[in-house]
Structure 1
């Protein structure tokens, strides 16, 4: 893990390639989370994205980690770790309680209608099977143990809960430039660890019992540093979706937690017997009018 990658993340999101990536990711998230229902939803890291703004769950939380570059530029407030908006309820992920945990010395706030939760992302302070939706935008690329973070997400998600992951695609032009740049000490995209391939991430989530519901790639323009040059390659968006979709700079995965042996209980529907055409049901004897 390099300090440079963590420090550069807030500045990178304000750069032309950073805005280009975040705009695509925000559009995808707005479309996907609007159809997810329940009570509790969490966004882990990356406050530059408002991943839950189109979601209508009553309790939505932004989970930040003082040790993670994905939580920059927020700084850890002077409250107890694991506090929610200045309260100590570790199991509460929502509610509009007044407090200071969502604000730092720079006056930065969590998005409206959210609660800020400060904790270790590898040890989430939530009960097992208590959350309906978790969004992890580039969070796996900043944690020291992505496997453990995925296991924590699986633990707190309810059966049939949904997990959305966004990340940089290592099998892309951006991934190639990132690999070459890291060897030269000048990485193109900020990440504390190596980029995680889409195929590898699919294997990880399947081992945890998730079913992949949707996967999408985006941002097909070359890794360029100016708005002018990025605009010149705008034609590659439609071409990439059609001809080389797996080589997009970023990807989004939507997965559902399955619990084997569990069956959803619903209203029991009794099917009426279907009679063949032209046949009448056999008459049953009436005990009161029946004579021997």
Structure 2
């Protein structure tokens, strides 16, 4: 099997630690998208995970970047059939009208994007007001992230021993959880929920990963923000807009016309006989 330092993310996800990450993300994503309602949902990238499986929207699409190709792949032992790719596009220019999607899922998409800021702006553009986005990523402030940083430092120093090879895929820029929250706030997203997972050490063997299964509960309790991966769910807010019910037009009640009252005006010191005399003259 190829070393993790020399393969890309899709192949790395077929390794024991990669399958460990996929299992956690599949379960958490299904929990967060199951109750998102609407008509149109989109998954950008990473066909190894079915991010929209638990969602019930009538129109659900999987989009791949031109770099990923048009053929979807799944792990050989995953037991799942290859998924249909709806379209291949540039994530910096999504082929959807503004405010046309209700849900967008980005499984590790920003880490591999050419310009993650631009990709997020495109997601904000195509989402309807109150639309939701779900994002997963590798956490740089974790045991796995620390091992990756150590391997890169060793490479810069010219040392390439087996212990200093990269544990995670070489490609990609891992985005910190707090940094991503700041990006979303700048785009008028409101972070609704989030969490971390995969607290076992950075080990390549399935047997050793199984031995440290006890660290899952310990990590969730004692160091929750240091999980190897994270998930974040945010809602697009539009200022000055609120949802209201139908405006029923009320028929105005007929108003009674005001009564006309005639008044007689007489100048002081005049009488009907005086007015008749002035008329005759």
TM-score, length-normalised on structure 2? 0.77
**Is 1:60 matched with 2:60?**
yes
* TM-superposed deviation, 1:41: 0.3
Report if aligned partners of 2:70, 2:85 keep a CA contact under 8 Å in 1.
Answer: no
Match of 2:19 in 1: 19
Show the counterpart of 1:236. 215
Structure 2 distance, partners of 1:18, 1:182, is: 20
2:140 to 152, 170, 186: 170
Contact 2:5-2:167 within 8 A present in 1 as well: no
1:141-173 Cα shifts (integer Å, max 9, x gaps)? 101210000000000000000000000011101
Residue 227 of structure 1 aligns with which residue? 206
Q: Is the 8 A contact 2:112 2:173 kept in 1?
A: no
Match of 2:115 in 1: 145
**Displacement, 1:5?**
7.0
Quick check: 1:62–1:110 contact (8 Å CA) kept in 2?
no
Distance 1:6 1:260, change over 3 A: farther
Q: Displacement of 1:181 after TM fit?
A: 1.9
2:180 is matched with 201
Match of 2:276 in 1: none
Q: Which runs of 5+ in 1 are unaligned?
A: 78-101, 269-292
Q: CA distance change for structure 1 residues 266 and 121 in 2, over 3 Å: closer, same or farther?
A: same
Instruction: Please tell me the root mean square deviation across aligned C-alpha atoms, in Å.
Output: 2.2
For structure 2, list consecutive stretches of 5 or more residues without a partner in the other structure: 74-79, 156-164, 248-281
Structure 1 counterpart of 2:103, from 110, 129, 133: 133
Question: Considering only CA atoms, is the larger Rg found in Structure 1 or Structure 2?
Answer: 2
Q: Which residue of 2 aligns with 1:264?
A: 243
SS of the aligned residue for 1:128 comes to: coil
User: Which structure has the highest helix share of the two?
Assistant: 2
Deviation at 1:191, TM superposition (A): 5.4
Give me the whole-angstrom Cα distance separating, in 2, the residues matched to 1:199 and 1:16.
Answer: 28
Q: 2:90 aligns with which of 117, 120, 127?
A: 120
Structure 2 CA distance, aligned partners of 1:5 and 1:161?
37
Deviation at 1:179, TM superposition (A): 1.1
Deviations 1:73-92 (A, max 9, x none): xx347xxxxxxxxxxxxxxx
* Cα distance between partner residues in 2 of 1:224 and 1:179: 15
Superposed CA deviations along residues 175-196 of structure 1, whole A, max 9, x for unmatched, are 1111122334532222533211
CA distance in 2, matches of 1:230, 1:140: 27
For residue 30 of structure 1, report the CA deviation from its aligned partner.
1.2
Match of 2:47 in 1: 47
Distance in 2 separating the partners of 1:148 and 1:5: 28
Q: Is the 8 A contact 1:143 1:192 kept in 2?
A: no
Cα deviations by residue, 1:55-95 (Å, 9 ceiling, x for unpaired) = 0101000010122xxx3xxx347xxxxxxxxxxxxxxxxxx
Aligned counterparts of 2:31 and 2:6: Cα–Cα separation in 1: 29
Deviation, 1:109, is 7.2
Tell me the TM-score normalised to structure 1 length: 0.74
| Contact 1:169 1:197 (C-alpha < 8 Å) held by counterparts | yes
Query: How many pairs does the alignment contain?
Result: 230
Matched, 1:154 2:124: yes
Which SS does the other structure have where 2:86 is aligned? strand
1:154 is paired with a residue of what secondary structure?
helix
